[in-house]
Protein backbone atom coordinates (compact mmCIF):
# COMPACT_ATOMS: atom_id res chain seq x y z
CA UNK A 1 0.00 0.00 0.00
CA UNK A 2 1.38 3.45 -0.96
CA UNK A 3 1.84 6.29 1.53
CA UNK A 4 -0.97 8.13 -0.24
CA UNK A 5 -3.31 5.17 0.27
CA UNK A 6 -2.26 4.81 3.91
CA UNK A 7 -2.96 8.47 4.61
CA UNK A 8 -6.29 8.27 2.81
CA UNK A 9 -7.33 5.25 4.93
CA UNK A 10 -6.43 7.23 8.07
CA UNK A 11 -8.48 10.14 6.71
CA UNK A 12 -11.44 7.78 6.18
CA UNK A 13 -11.24 6.71 9.83
CA UNK A 14 -10.97 10.37 10.89
CA UNK A 15 -14.04 11.32 8.84
CA UNK A 16 -16.08 8.67 10.68
CA UNK A 17 -14.77 9.68 14.10
CA UNK A 18 -15.46 13.42 13.84
CA UNK A 19 -19.32 13.13 13.84
CA UNK A 20 -19.18 11.18 17.09
CA UNK A 21 -17.75 14.13 19.06
CA UNK A 22 -20.69 16.44 18.35
CA UNK A 23 -23.74 16.70 20.60
CA UNK A 24 -26.30 15.84 17.95
CA UNK A 25 -28.78 13.07 18.71
CA UNK A 26 -27.10 9.67 18.66
CA UNK A 27 -29.11 8.44 15.66
CA UNK A 28 -28.01 11.40 13.55
CA UNK A 29 -24.40 11.01 14.62
CA UNK A 30 -24.45 7.33 13.64
CA UNK A 31 -25.87 8.16 10.22
CA UNK A 32 -23.17 10.81 9.74
CA UNK A 33 -20.62 8.26 10.99
CA UNK A 34 -21.61 5.99 8.10
CA UNK A 35 -21.96 8.49 5.28
CA UNK A 36 -18.94 10.75 5.99
CA UNK A 37 -16.31 8.27 4.69
CA UNK A 38 -18.48 7.65 1.61
CA UNK A 39 -18.53 11.39 0.89
CA UNK A 40 -14.77 11.60 1.45
CA UNK A 41 -14.09 8.75 -0.96
CA UNK A 42 -16.42 10.05 -3.68
CA UNK A 43 -15.22 13.65 -3.51
CA UNK A 44 -11.53 13.40 -2.68
CA UNK A 45 -10.05 10.09 -3.71
CA UNK A 46 -8.11 10.71 -6.88
CA UNK A 47 -5.06 8.49 -6.97
CA UNK A 48 -3.31 10.75 -9.49
CA UNK A 49 -3.01 13.39 -6.77
CA UNK A 50 -0.90 10.92 -4.83
CA UNK A 51 1.56 10.80 -7.72
CA UNK A 52 2.26 14.53 -7.56
CA UNK A 53 4.58 14.14 -4.60
CA UNK A 54 5.05 16.34 -1.55
CA UNK A 55 2.69 16.77 1.42
CA UNK A 56 -0.20 18.40 -0.47
CA UNK A 57 -2.03 15.17 -1.48
CA UNK A 58 -2.04 14.08 2.18
CA UNK A 59 -3.21 17.52 3.33
CA UNK A 60 -6.11 17.30 0.86
CA UNK A 61 -7.10 13.93 2.35
CA UNK A 62 -7.21 15.22 5.94
CA UNK A 63 -8.95 18.50 5.12
CA UNK A 64 -11.34 16.43 3.03
CA UNK A 65 -12.06 14.28 6.08
CA UNK A 66 -13.06 17.33 8.14
CA UNK A 67 -15.10 18.71 5.25
CA UNK A 68 -16.88 15.39 4.60
CA UNK A 69 -17.75 15.01 8.27
CA UNK A 70 -19.29 18.48 8.38
CA UNK A 71 -21.32 17.86 5.22
CA UNK A 72 -22.55 14.54 6.62
CA UNK A 73 -23.65 16.23 9.85
CA UNK A 74 -25.38 19.01 7.93
CA UNK A 75 -27.17 16.44 5.79
CA UNK A 76 -28.80 14.88 8.86
CA UNK A 77 -29.64 18.22 10.49
CA UNK A 78 -32.51 19.48 8.35
CA UNK A 79 -34.99 21.86 9.99
CA UNK A 80 -37.97 23.88 8.83
CA UNK A 81 -38.63 27.50 9.81
CA UNK A 82 -41.36 29.95 8.80
CA UNK A 83 -40.64 31.76 5.54
CA UNK A 84 -39.26 35.28 5.98
CA UNK A 85 -39.98 38.10 3.56
CA UNK A 86 -36.91 39.47 1.81
CA UNK A 87 -36.23 42.25 -0.63
CA UNK A 88 -36.91 41.05 -4.14
CA UNK A 89 -34.01 43.15 -5.44
CA UNK A 90 -31.61 41.71 -2.88
CA UNK A 91 -32.83 38.20 -3.59
CA UNK A 92 -32.16 38.60 -7.32
CA UNK A 93 -28.66 39.92 -6.73
CA UNK A 94 -27.88 37.13 -4.30
CA UNK A 95 -29.34 34.59 -6.71
CA UNK A 96 -27.17 35.75 -9.62
CA UNK A 97 -23.98 36.10 -7.58
CA UNK A 98 -24.42 32.79 -5.81
CA UNK A 99 -24.87 30.89 -9.04
CA UNK A 100 -21.92 32.64 -10.67
CA UNK A 101 -19.80 31.37 -7.76
CA UNK A 102 -21.40 27.93 -8.09
CA UNK A 103 -20.45 27.69 -11.76
CA UNK A 104 -16.89 28.94 -11.14
CA UNK A 105 -16.47 26.38 -8.37
CA UNK A 106 -17.79 23.60 -10.59
CA UNK A 107 -15.31 24.53 -13.32
CA UNK A 108 -12.45 24.42 -10.80
CA UNK A 109 -13.64 21.11 -9.38
CA UNK A 110 -13.77 19.45 -12.80
CA UNK A 111 -10.70 21.23 -14.20
CA UNK A 112 -8.20 20.14 -11.54
CA UNK A 113 -8.56 16.35 -12.07
CA UNK A 114 -8.63 17.00 -15.82
CA UNK A 115 -5.40 18.97 -15.64
CA UNK A 116 -3.71 16.29 -13.52
CA UNK A 117 -4.82 13.68 -16.06
CA UNK A 118 -3.88 15.61 -19.21
CA UNK A 119 -0.71 17.41 -18.22
CA UNK A 120 2.38 16.06 -16.45
CA UNK A 121 1.77 18.23 -13.39
CA UNK A 122 4.27 16.23 -11.36
CA UNK A 123 6.87 17.35 -13.90
CA UNK A 124 6.88 21.13 -13.70
CA UNK A 125 9.99 21.36 -15.88
CA UNK A 126 8.06 19.83 -18.78
CA UNK A 127 5.15 22.26 -18.39
CA UNK A 128 7.34 25.34 -18.13
CA UNK A 129 9.48 24.23 -21.04
CA UNK A 130 6.40 23.67 -23.20
CA UNK A 131 5.07 27.13 -22.32
CA UNK A 132 8.34 28.96 -22.92
CA UNK A 133 9.25 27.06 -26.08
CA UNK A 134 6.80 29.22 -28.02
CA UNK A 135 4.69 27.64 -30.74
CA UNK A 136 2.71 24.66 -29.57
CA UNK A 137 0.89 23.79 -32.75
CA UNK A 138 -0.64 20.36 -32.75
CA UNK A 139 -1.73 20.33 -29.12
CA UNK A 140 -4.63 22.76 -29.39
CA UNK A 141 -7.14 20.39 -30.97
CA UNK A 142 -6.45 17.62 -28.46
CA UNK A 143 -6.41 19.88 -25.40
CA UNK A 144 -9.49 21.92 -26.37
CA UNK A 145 -11.51 18.81 -27.23
CA UNK A 146 -10.68 17.13 -23.94
CA UNK A 147 -11.33 20.39 -22.03
CA UNK A 148 -14.82 20.61 -23.48
CA UNK A 149 -15.55 16.92 -22.83
CA UNK A 150 -14.09 16.68 -19.34
CA UNK A 151 -14.66 20.16 -17.90
CA UNK A 152 -17.15 22.35 -19.75
CA UNK A 153 -19.80 19.68 -20.43
CA UNK A 154 -19.88 18.07 -16.95
CA UNK A 155 -19.62 21.45 -15.18
CA UNK A 156 -22.49 22.83 -17.26
CA UNK A 157 -24.55 19.68 -16.77
CA UNK A 158 -24.04 19.72 -13.01
CA UNK A 159 -24.84 23.44 -12.91
CA UNK A 160 -28.09 22.84 -14.78
CA UNK A 161 -28.99 20.06 -12.32
CA UNK A 162 -28.30 22.30 -9.30
CA UNK A 163 -30.31 25.12 -10.87
CA UNK A 164 -33.24 22.75 -11.45
CA UNK A 165 -33.10 21.60 -7.83
CA UNK A 166 -33.07 25.21 -6.71
CA UNK A 167 -36.18 26.00 -8.77
CA UNK A 168 -37.98 22.94 -7.38
CA UNK A 169 -36.97 23.92 -3.83
CA UNK A 170 -38.27 27.45 -4.43
CA UNK A 171 -41.70 26.22 -5.50
CA UNK A 172 -41.92 23.70 -2.63
CA UNK A 173 -41.00 26.32 -0.05
CA UNK A 174 -43.39 28.88 -1.58
CA UNK A 175 -46.28 26.42 -1.54
CA UNK A 176 -45.66 25.36 2.08
CA UNK A 177 -44.61 28.87 3.23
CA UNK A 178 -41.59 27.41 5.02
CA UNK A 179 -37.81 27.52 4.58
CA UNK A 180 -35.57 24.49 4.90
CA UNK A 181 -32.28 25.02 6.64
CA UNK A 182 -29.51 22.89 8.08
CA UNK A 183 -27.74 23.51 11.38
CA UNK A 184 -24.43 22.43 12.83
CA UNK A 185 -23.63 23.72 16.29
CA UNK A 186 -24.07 27.52 15.92
CA UNK A 187 -23.85 27.44 12.14
CA UNK A 188 -27.06 27.45 10.12
CA UNK A 189 -27.74 27.99 6.45
CA UNK A 190 -30.74 27.80 4.17
CA UNK A 191 -31.00 24.75 1.95
CA UNK A 192 -31.10 27.06 -1.06
CA UNK A 193 -27.51 28.09 -0.29
CA UNK A 194 -26.13 24.63 0.36
CA UNK A 195 -24.59 24.47 -3.12
CA UNK A 196 -22.28 27.33 -2.15
CA UNK A 197 -21.61 25.90 1.29
CA UNK A 198 -20.51 22.63 -0.27
CA UNK A 199 -18.80 23.72 -3.48
CA UNK A 200 -16.71 26.71 -2.32
CA UNK A 201 -14.72 24.88 0.40
CA UNK A 202 -14.55 21.77 -1.80
CA UNK A 203 -12.99 23.77 -4.63
CA UNK A 204 -10.61 25.52 -2.21
CA UNK A 205 -9.39 22.22 -0.81
CA UNK A 206 -8.81 20.77 -4.27
CA UNK A 207 -7.05 23.98 -5.32
CA UNK A 208 -4.28 23.12 -2.86
CA UNK A 209 -2.94 20.94 -5.69
CA UNK A 210 -1.73 24.11 -7.42
CA UNK A 211 0.73 25.42 -4.75
CA UNK A 212 1.83 21.82 -4.26
CA UNK A 213 2.75 21.63 -7.94
CA UNK A 214 4.47 25.01 -7.98
CA UNK A 215 6.50 24.23 -4.85
CA UNK A 216 7.91 21.12 -6.54
CA UNK A 217 9.45 23.15 -9.36
CA UNK A 218 13.24 23.60 -9.20
CA UNK A 219 12.97 27.40 -9.54
CA UNK A 220 16.25 27.99 -7.71
CA UNK A 221 18.09 26.09 -10.42
CA UNK A 222 16.23 28.00 -13.16
CA UNK A 223 17.34 31.44 -11.98
CA UNK A 224 20.66 30.80 -10.25
CA UNK A 225 23.87 32.32 -11.57
CA UNK A 226 25.94 29.92 -13.68
CA UNK A 227 28.80 28.19 -11.93
CA UNK A 228 31.97 26.62 -13.22
CA UNK A 229 30.73 23.05 -12.90
CA UNK A 230 33.19 20.50 -11.60
CA UNK A 231 30.63 17.90 -12.67
CA UNK A 232 30.79 18.92 -16.35
CA UNK A 233 34.54 19.46 -16.27
CA UNK A 234 35.06 15.96 -14.93
CA UNK A 235 32.44 13.97 -16.81
CA UNK A 236 31.40 15.75 -20.01
CA UNK A 237 33.25 14.44 -23.05
CA UNK A 238 32.89 16.74 -26.05
CA UNK A 239 32.24 14.75 -29.25
CA UNK A 240 34.95 16.72 -31.07
CA UNK A 241 37.51 15.38 -28.59
CA UNK A 242 36.56 11.75 -29.28
CA UNK A 243 38.05 9.70 -32.10
CA UNK A 244 35.06 8.10 -33.80
CA UNK A 245 36.14 5.59 -36.37
CA UNK A 246 35.32 2.19 -37.81
CA UNK A 247 37.36 -0.59 -39.39
CA UNK A 248 34.40 -2.19 -41.14
CA UNK A 249 31.36 -0.80 -42.92
CA UNK A 250 29.06 0.89 -40.41
CA UNK A 251 25.38 0.15 -40.35
CA UNK A 252 22.24 2.10 -41.04
CA UNK A 253 20.21 3.17 -38.02
CA UNK A 254 16.48 3.14 -37.34
CA UNK A 255 15.43 4.69 -34.02
CA UNK A 256 11.82 4.18 -32.95
CA UNK A 257 10.78 6.37 -30.04
CA UNK A 258 7.67 4.85 -28.46
CA UNK A 259 5.62 7.37 -26.53
CA UNK A 260 5.79 6.66 -22.77
CA UNK A 261 6.59 2.97 -23.32
CA UNK A 262 7.91 1.19 -20.25
CA UNK A 263 9.31 -2.24 -19.50
CA UNK A 264 6.74 -2.30 -16.68
CA UNK A 265 4.00 -2.68 -19.31
CA UNK A 266 5.15 -6.13 -20.45
CA UNK A 267 1.89 -7.90 -19.50
CA UNK A 268 0.05 -5.56 -21.89
CA UNK A 269 2.71 -5.65 -24.62
CA UNK A 270 3.59 -9.31 -25.21
CA UNK A 271 4.85 -8.65 -28.74
CA UNK A 272 7.29 -6.01 -27.48
CA UNK A 273 8.32 -8.33 -24.64
CA UNK A 274 9.09 -11.08 -27.19
CA UNK A 275 11.14 -8.66 -29.31
CA UNK A 276 13.00 -7.56 -26.20
CA UNK A 277 13.86 -11.13 -25.21
CA UNK A 278 15.21 -11.94 -28.66
CA UNK A 279 17.20 -8.68 -28.92
CA UNK A 280 20.02 -7.05 -27.01
CA UNK A 281 18.38 -5.32 -24.06
CA UNK A 282 19.67 -3.43 -21.10
CA UNK A 283 17.64 -4.42 -18.07
CA UNK A 284 15.63 -3.32 -16.25
CA UNK A 285 15.33 -0.38 -18.65
CA UNK A 286 16.28 3.28 -18.71
CA UNK A 287 15.55 5.62 -15.80
CA UNK A 288 14.20 9.16 -15.94
CA UNK A 289 16.68 11.77 -14.73
CA UNK A 290 16.30 15.53 -14.60
CA UNK A 291 16.04 17.18 -18.00
CA UNK A 292 14.99 13.97 -19.79
CA UNK A 293 11.48 13.37 -18.45
CA UNK A 294 9.29 14.61 -21.32
CA UNK A 295 9.36 13.80 -25.01
CA UNK A 296 11.72 16.34 -26.54
CA UNK A 297 13.90 16.25 -23.40
CA UNK A 298 14.11 12.45 -23.53
CA UNK A 299 15.03 12.57 -27.22
CA UNK A 300 17.64 15.27 -26.55
CA UNK A 301 19.18 13.26 -23.73
CA UNK A 302 19.35 10.09 -25.84
CA UNK A 303 20.79 11.71 -28.94
CA UNK A 304 22.94 14.51 -27.47
CA UNK A 305 24.09 13.03 -24.16
CA UNK A 306 23.02 16.08 -22.15
CA UNK A 307 19.78 17.07 -20.40
CA UNK A 308 17.40 19.68 -21.77
CA UNK A 309 17.34 22.38 -19.11
CA UNK A 310 15.40 25.63 -18.96
CA UNK A 311 17.67 28.52 -19.99
CA UNK A 312 15.83 30.95 -17.71
CA UNK A 313 17.75 34.01 -16.63
CA UNK A 314 19.59 34.30 -19.95
CA UNK A 315 18.74 37.84 -21.06
CA UNK A 316 19.39 37.16 -24.73
CA UNK A 317 16.51 34.70 -24.85
CA UNK A 318 13.99 36.49 -22.62
CA UNK A 319 12.70 33.14 -21.44
CA UNK A 320 12.20 31.85 -24.99
CA UNK A 321 14.02 29.03 -26.73
CA UNK A 322 14.79 30.15 -30.29
CA UNK A 323 17.12 27.18 -30.80
CA UNK A 324 17.78 23.81 -29.24
CA UNK A 325 21.28 23.77 -27.79
CA UNK A 326 22.81 24.92 -31.08
CA UNK A 327 26.37 24.66 -29.79
CA UNK A 328 26.00 21.11 -28.52
CA UNK A 329 27.04 18.28 -30.79
CA UNK A 330 24.61 15.38 -31.09
CA UNK A 331 24.41 11.99 -32.77
CA UNK A 332 22.84 13.59 -35.85
CA UNK A 333 25.80 15.97 -36.19
CA UNK A 334 28.23 13.07 -35.99
CA UNK A 335 26.33 11.04 -38.59
CA UNK A 336 26.04 14.06 -40.89
CA UNK A 337 29.83 14.37 -40.78
CA UNK A 338 30.03 10.68 -41.68
CA UNK A 339 27.88 11.17 -44.80
CA UNK A 340 24.61 9.71 -43.55
CA UNK A 341 21.25 10.71 -45.00
CA UNK A 342 18.92 11.42 -42.10
CA UNK A 343 15.16 11.82 -41.73
CA UNK A 344 12.75 12.18 -38.81
CA UNK A 345 9.01 11.39 -39.04
CA UNK A 346 6.10 11.90 -36.66
CA UNK A 347 2.31 12.08 -36.91
CA UNK A 348 1.89 15.43 -35.13
CA UNK A 349 3.14 18.93 -35.81
CA UNK A 350 6.89 19.46 -35.76
CA UNK A 351 6.29 22.93 -34.36
CA UNK A 352 5.09 21.57 -31.03
CA UNK A 353 7.88 22.32 -28.50
CA UNK A 354 9.98 23.32 -31.53
CA UNK A 355 10.97 19.79 -32.52
CA UNK A 356 11.50 21.09 -36.05
CA UNK A 357 14.20 23.42 -34.76
CA UNK A 358 15.90 20.62 -32.85
CA UNK A 359 16.21 18.35 -35.87
CA UNK A 360 17.25 21.01 -38.37
CA UNK A 361 19.79 22.57 -35.99
CA UNK A 362 21.53 19.24 -35.50
CA UNK A 363 22.70 17.52 -38.65
CA UNK A 364 20.12 19.35 -40.76
CA UNK A 365 17.85 16.33 -40.43
CA UNK A 366 14.77 16.38 -42.65
CA UNK A 367 11.50 16.42 -40.71
CA UNK A 368 8.34 14.90 -42.12
CA UNK A 369 5.40 15.75 -39.86
CA UNK A 370 1.67 16.16 -40.39
CA UNK A 371 2.16 19.46 -42.24
CA UNK A 372 4.61 17.82 -44.63
CA UNK A 373 2.40 14.80 -45.30
CA UNK A 374 -0.57 17.08 -45.91
CA UNK A 375 1.47 19.14 -48.35
CA UNK A 376 2.39 16.07 -50.43
CA UNK A 377 -1.12 14.62 -50.33
CA UNK A 378 -0.36 11.66 -48.07
CA UNK A 379 -2.75 12.93 -45.37
CA UNK A 380 -6.01 14.80 -46.15
CA UNK A 381 -5.79 18.55 -45.50
CA UNK A 382 -8.43 18.59 -42.76
CA UNK A 383 -7.56 15.22 -41.22
CA UNK A 384 -6.79 15.44 -37.52
CA UNK A 385 -7.20 12.85 -34.76
CA UNK A 386 -5.66 12.86 -31.30
CA UNK A 387 -2.36 14.73 -31.80
CA UNK A 388 -2.40 14.67 -35.61
CA UNK A 389 -2.72 11.32 -37.32
CA UNK A 390 -2.55 7.85 -35.83
CA UNK A 391 0.45 5.54 -35.61
CA UNK A 392 -1.01 3.05 -38.10
CA UNK A 393 -0.64 5.68 -40.82
CA UNK A 394 2.80 6.70 -39.53
CA UNK A 395 4.13 3.15 -39.78
CA UNK A 396 2.84 2.92 -43.35
CA UNK A 397 4.53 6.18 -44.29
CA UNK A 398 7.72 5.10 -42.50
CA UNK A 399 7.95 2.09 -44.82
CA UNK A 400 7.84 4.43 -47.81
CA UNK A 401 10.48 6.70 -46.25
CA UNK A 402 12.81 3.78 -45.55
CA UNK A 403 12.44 2.41 -49.08
CA UNK A 404 13.31 5.86 -50.42
CA UNK A 405 16.35 6.22 -48.14
CA UNK A 406 17.61 2.74 -49.03
CA UNK A 407 17.40 3.47 -52.78
CA UNK A 408 19.74 6.46 -52.46
CA UNK A 409 22.75 4.20 -51.97
CA UNK A 410 24.12 6.03 -48.93
CA UNK A 411 24.08 5.04 -45.27
CA UNK A 412 20.99 6.40 -43.56
CA UNK A 413 19.53 7.12 -40.15
CA UNK A 414 15.77 7.21 -39.74
CA UNK A 415 14.07 8.42 -36.56
CA UNK A 416 10.37 8.26 -35.77
CA UNK A 417 8.11 9.07 -32.81
CA UNK A 418 4.80 7.37 -32.09
CA UNK A 419 1.98 9.06 -30.17
CA UNK A 420 -0.94 6.64 -29.71
CA UNK A 421 0.18 5.76 -26.16
CA UNK A 422 0.24 9.38 -25.02
CA UNK A 423 -1.62 10.34 -21.86
CA UNK A 424 -4.31 10.50 -20.70
CA UNK A 425 -5.66 7.24 -22.21
CA UNK A 426 -3.89 6.76 -25.52
CA UNK A 427 -5.70 6.49 -28.84
CA UNK A 428 -7.38 3.55 -30.57
CA UNK A 429 -8.19 3.78 -34.27
CA UNK A 430 -10.76 1.52 -35.93
CA UNK A 431 -8.13 -0.98 -37.11
CA UNK A 432 -6.87 -1.31 -33.53
CA UNK A 433 -10.35 -2.03 -32.25
CA UNK A 434 -10.79 -4.75 -34.88
CA UNK A 435 -7.37 -6.24 -34.11
CA UNK A 436 -8.14 -6.30 -30.39
CA UNK A 437 -11.52 -7.87 -31.02
CA UNK A 438 -9.81 -10.61 -33.04
CA UNK A 439 -7.73 -11.56 -29.99
CA UNK A 440 -10.77 -11.40 -27.68
CA UNK A 441 -9.63 -8.19 -26.01
CA UNK A 442 -12.72 -6.31 -24.86
CA UNK A 443 -12.11 -2.57 -24.60
CA UNK A 444 -13.75 -0.98 -21.54
CA UNK A 445 -13.49 2.35 -19.78
CA UNK A 446 -11.15 0.91 -17.16
CA UNK A 447 -8.73 -0.68 -19.66
CA UNK A 448 -8.50 1.98 -22.36
CA UNK A 449 -4.82 2.58 -21.79
CA UNK A 450 -3.87 -1.13 -21.66
CA UNK A 451 -5.81 -1.48 -24.93
CA UNK A 452 -3.75 1.31 -26.51
CA UNK A 453 -0.57 -0.37 -25.25
CA UNK A 454 -1.55 -3.72 -26.75
CA UNK A 455 -2.32 -2.14 -30.10
CA UNK A 456 1.01 -0.27 -30.06
CA UNK A 457 2.76 -3.56 -29.30
CA UNK A 458 1.16 -5.34 -32.26
CA UNK A 459 1.89 -2.44 -34.61
CA UNK A 460 5.56 -2.28 -33.63
CA UNK A 461 6.00 -6.04 -34.03
CA UNK A 462 4.46 -5.90 -37.51
CA UNK A 463 6.72 -2.99 -38.50
CA UNK A 464 9.88 -4.70 -37.22
CA UNK A 465 8.92 -7.87 -39.08
CA UNK A 466 8.54 -5.84 -42.28
CA UNK A 467 12.01 -4.31 -41.76
CA UNK A 468 13.56 -7.75 -41.32
CA UNK A 469 12.20 -8.80 -44.71
CA UNK A 470 13.87 -5.92 -46.58
CA UNK A 471 17.14 -6.48 -48.49
CA UNK A 472 18.91 -3.75 -46.51
CA UNK A 473 17.89 -5.06 -43.07
CA UNK A 474 21.04 -7.15 -42.47
CA UNK A 475 23.06 -3.94 -42.42
CA UNK A 476 20.62 -1.96 -40.30
CA UNK A 477 20.44 -1.48 -36.54
CA UNK A 478 16.98 -1.02 -35.02
CA UNK A 479 16.83 0.80 -31.70
CA UNK A 480 13.48 0.77 -29.87
CA UNK A 481 13.20 3.15 -26.92
CA UNK A 482 10.50 4.67 -24.80
CA UNK A 483 10.98 8.43 -24.96
CA UNK A 484 10.50 8.59 -21.17
CA UNK A 485 8.54 6.91 -18.38
CA UNK A 486 5.30 8.46 -17.10
CA UNK A 487 4.26 7.40 -13.57
CA UNK A 488 0.63 8.48 -14.03
CA UNK A 489 0.29 6.24 -17.07
CA UNK A 490 1.97 3.43 -15.17
CA UNK A 491 -0.89 3.64 -12.68
CA UNK A 492 -3.43 3.27 -15.51
CA UNK A 493 -1.57 0.21 -16.75
CA UNK A 494 -1.83 -1.46 -13.35
CA UNK A 495 1.76 -0.89 -12.27
CA UNK A 496 2.04 -0.72 -8.49
CA UNK A 497 2.76 2.86 -7.34
CA UNK A 498 5.68 1.59 -5.28
CA UNK A 499 7.36 0.04 -8.34
CA UNK A 500 10.22 1.85 -10.05
CA UNK A 501 9.39 2.62 -13.67
CA UNK A 502 11.78 2.20 -16.60
CA UNK A 503 11.49 3.17 -20.23
CA UNK A 504 11.80 0.45 -22.84
CA UNK A 505 15.18 -0.02 -24.49
CA UNK A 506 16.38 -2.81 -26.79
CA UNK A 507 18.55 -3.02 -29.89
CA UNK A 508 18.09 -5.36 -32.84
CA UNK A 509 21.02 -6.36 -35.04
CA UNK A 510 23.71 -4.55 -33.08
CA UNK A 511 27.19 -4.55 -34.56
CA UNK A 512 28.61 -5.25 -31.09
CA UNK A 513 29.15 -8.93 -30.35
CA UNK A 514 27.09 -9.61 -27.24
CA UNK A 515 28.75 -12.95 -26.67
CA UNK A 516 25.42 -14.75 -26.66
CA UNK A 517 24.09 -12.63 -23.81
CA UNK A 518 21.01 -10.69 -24.84
CA UNK A 519 20.25 -9.26 -21.42
CA UNK A 520 22.62 -6.91 -19.66
CA UNK A 521 21.91 -5.51 -16.21
CA UNK A 522 22.77 -1.82 -15.99
CA UNK A 523 21.57 1.28 -14.18
CA UNK A 524 21.46 4.01 -16.82
CA UNK A 525 19.60 7.00 -18.19
CA UNK A 526 18.88 8.62 -21.56
CA UNK A 527 22.33 10.25 -21.45
CA UNK A 528 24.00 6.88 -22.06
CA UNK A 529 22.29 6.17 -25.38
CA UNK A 530 24.41 8.53 -27.50
CA UNK A 531 27.62 6.43 -27.25
CA UNK A 532 25.64 3.17 -27.09
CA UNK A 533 23.92 3.86 -30.42
CA UNK A 534 27.20 4.78 -32.11
CA UNK A 535 28.84 1.55 -30.97
CA UNK A 536 25.75 -0.42 -32.03
CA UNK A 537 26.28 0.91 -35.57
CA UNK A 538 29.88 -0.30 -35.65
CA UNK A 539 31.70 2.88 -34.69
CA UNK A 540 34.57 2.69 -32.22
CA UNK A 541 34.82 5.45 -29.62
CA UNK A 542 38.06 6.42 -27.99
CA UNK A 543 37.28 6.17 -24.28
CA UNK A 544 33.84 4.70 -24.99
CA UNK A 545 32.20 7.87 -23.66
CA UNK A 546 30.57 10.86 -25.31
CA UNK A 547 28.64 13.78 -23.84
CA UNK A 548 27.61 12.75 -20.34
CA UNK A 549 26.95 9.23 -21.56
CA UNK A 550 28.89 6.02 -21.13
CA UNK A 551 28.50 3.17 -23.59
CA UNK A 552 26.35 0.44 -22.08
CA UNK A 553 28.60 -2.10 -23.82
CA UNK A 554 31.60 -0.89 -21.81
CA UNK A 555 32.54 -1.74 -18.25
CA UNK A 556 32.67 1.95 -17.34
CA UNK A 557 30.07 2.96 -14.72
CA UNK A 558 27.34 5.32 -15.87
CA UNK A 559 26.72 8.56 -14.00
CA UNK A 560 23.57 7.00 -12.56
CA UNK A 561 25.66 4.13 -11.22
CA UNK A 562 28.21 6.57 -9.77
CA UNK A 563 25.87 9.07 -8.12
CA UNK A 564 22.43 7.52 -7.85
CA UNK A 565 19.31 9.34 -9.01
CA UNK A 566 18.79 12.05 -6.31
CA UNK A 567 22.35 13.37 -6.49
CA UNK A 568 22.55 13.10 -10.28
CA UNK A 569 19.26 15.00 -10.64
CA UNK A 570 20.59 17.86 -8.54
CA UNK A 571 23.84 17.98 -10.52
CA UNK A 572 22.01 17.98 -13.85
CA UNK A 573 19.74 20.85 -12.73
CA UNK A 574 22.63 23.14 -11.79
CA UNK A 575 23.07 26.06 -14.11
CA UNK A 576 26.68 26.10 -15.29
CA UNK A 577 28.83 28.03 -17.72
CA UNK A 578 29.49 24.73 -19.47
CA UNK A 579 25.77 24.16 -20.11
CA UNK A 580 25.19 27.81 -21.08
CA UNK A 581 27.80 27.30 -23.79
CA UNK A 582 25.50 24.77 -25.49
CA UNK A 583 22.89 27.55 -25.75
CA UNK A 584 24.93 30.69 -26.40
CA UNK A 585 28.34 29.47 -27.52
CA UNK A 586 30.14 31.53 -24.91
Average pLDDT of the residues of the chain: 87
Statement to judge: residues 258 and 189 lie in one domain: no
Statement to judge: residues 272 and 202 lie in one domain: no
For residue 167, tell me if it sits in a domain. Answer: yes
What confidence score (pLDDT) does residue 139 get?
57
Statement to judge: residues 426 and 562 lie in one domain: yes
Mean pLDDT over 144-173 rounds to: 89
**Calpha distance 280→518 (Å, rounded):** 4
Mean pLDDT over 275-280 rounds to: 94
Q: Which of 196, 217, 238 is the last residue of a domain?
A: 217
Write out the residue range of the structural domain in which residue 189 sits: 3-217
Closest CA to 456 of 284, 272, 298: 272
**For residue 362, is pLDDT > 60?**
yes
Mean pLDDT over 431-443 rounds to: 90
User: Which of 75-79, 283-287, 478-482, 522-526 is the least confident region?
Assistant: 75-79
Statement to judge: residues 364 and 440 lie in one domain: yes
More confident residue, 438 or 137: 438
Statement to judge: residues 176 and 256 lie in one domain: no
Mean pLDDT over 417-439 rounds to: 92
What confidence score (pLDDT) does residue 188 get?
80
Residue 301's CATH number: 3.40.720.10
What confidence score (pLDDT) does residue 487 get?
82
What confidence score (pLDDT) does residue 499 get?
87
What confidence score (pLDDT) does residue 216 get?
56
Statement to judge: residues 274 and 184 lie in one domain: no
8-state DSSP, 327: T
**For residue 515, is pLDDT > 90?**
no
Ramachandran bin of 524, using left for φ above 0, alpha for ψ from -120 to 50, beta for the remaining angles: beta
Statement to judge: residues 142 and 287 lie in one domain: no
**For residue 130, is pLDDT > 90?**
no
Statement to judge: residues 549 and 446 lie in one domain: yes
Bond preceding residue 424 cis, omega within 30 of 0:
yes
| C-alpha dihedral, 490 to 483 to 272 to 269, nearest 10° | 20
CA 454 to chain centre: 19
* pLDDT band at residue 221 using 50, 70 and 90 as cut-offs: low
Statement to judge: residues 345 and 212 lie in one domain: no
What confidence score (pLDDT) does residue 516 get?
67
What confidence score (pLDDT) does residue 152 get?
93
User: Which of 325-334, 442-451, 458-467, 560-569 is the least confident region?
Assistant: 442-451
**For residue 481, is pLDDT > 50?**
yes
* pLDDT band at residue 510 using 50, 70 and 90 as cut-offs: very high
278-320 pLDDT per residue, tens: 999 999 999 999 999 999 999 999 999 999 987 654 444 444 4
**Calpha distance 357→334 (Å, rounded):** 17
More confident residue, 123 or 368: 368
For residue 363, tell me if it sits in a domain. Answer: yes
Q: Please, which residues have CB within 8 angstroms of residue 362's CB and are 6 or more apart in sequence?
A: 303, 304, 324, 328, 329, 330, 332, 333
What confidence score (pLDDT) does residue 317 get?
44
Amino acid sequence: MTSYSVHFVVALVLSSAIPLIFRNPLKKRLIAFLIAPVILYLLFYNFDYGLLGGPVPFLISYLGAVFSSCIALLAVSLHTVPMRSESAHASKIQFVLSFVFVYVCLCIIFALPWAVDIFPLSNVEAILFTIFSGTNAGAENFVVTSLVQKVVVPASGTFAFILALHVILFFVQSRKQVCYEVRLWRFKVGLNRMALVVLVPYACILFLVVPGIVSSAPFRAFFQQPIDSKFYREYYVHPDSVQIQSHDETRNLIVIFLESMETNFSKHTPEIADLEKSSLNFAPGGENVSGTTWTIAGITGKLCGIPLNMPMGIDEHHGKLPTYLPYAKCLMDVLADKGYNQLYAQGSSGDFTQKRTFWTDHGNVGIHDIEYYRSVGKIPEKYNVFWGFEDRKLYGLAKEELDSLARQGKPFAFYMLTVDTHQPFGYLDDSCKIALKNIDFEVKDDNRYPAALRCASMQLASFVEWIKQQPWSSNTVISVMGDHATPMLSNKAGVAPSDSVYWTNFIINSAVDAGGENRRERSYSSLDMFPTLLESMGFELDGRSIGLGRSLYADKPTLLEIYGKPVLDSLLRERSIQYDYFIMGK
